[in-house]
Structure 1
Amino acid sequence: EEWSLVLDTSYRWQSPWMRRLALKRLDENYIEPSVRLRLAVDYDVEDWLRVAYKGICRRRCFPTSQDLSLIPSSRIVNVFRIRETL
């Protein structure tokens, strides 16, 4: 969670080096796909979008209410569309 705060700070301060460090540290640890998707959308981390969608959509179980609360509403439709194609 600390590194997501660093990512937030780097975004607000427009600090590329701080952003790179935060993304590297976050990538070193497991992040729930729904959390990864939220961070990707909130902080424009394009590289994480595909990974996050895959992680959410490849689960056998339906996304939980906690997952859905983290996913931006504009992206929930994408999750269900992708799940239908798998």
Structure 2
Amino acid sequence: MSLHKITLVSLGYFDRKMLEQVAKAVQLQYGVEVSLREEHVDINKYFDAGRKQYNGNLLLRDIDQHYASDAHKTIGLLSVDLFI
């Protein structure tokens, strides 16, 4: 695990240019290597119908477990409403 690396994990359909801009902004802000992973997975299992939101605790836990790789920090990029 690198103490100087952040992995951005995109779960959804984002414009590639926008993702690259986010990665560059994170790199400039924190002065560390930033890698970008684009994943397209079904996140419906995280949806809580009663709240009409996605369970952020479970979703972010799974992102960390499945996509963290060798990064010190992993950040999930999503375009849905989460509750924590």
State TM-score, norm by structure 1: 0.26
State TM-score, norm by structure 2: 0.27
Q: Larger RCO: Structure 1 or Structure 2 (Cα < 8 Å, ≥ 6 residues apart)?
A: 2
In terms of fraction of residues, the more helix-rich structure is: 1
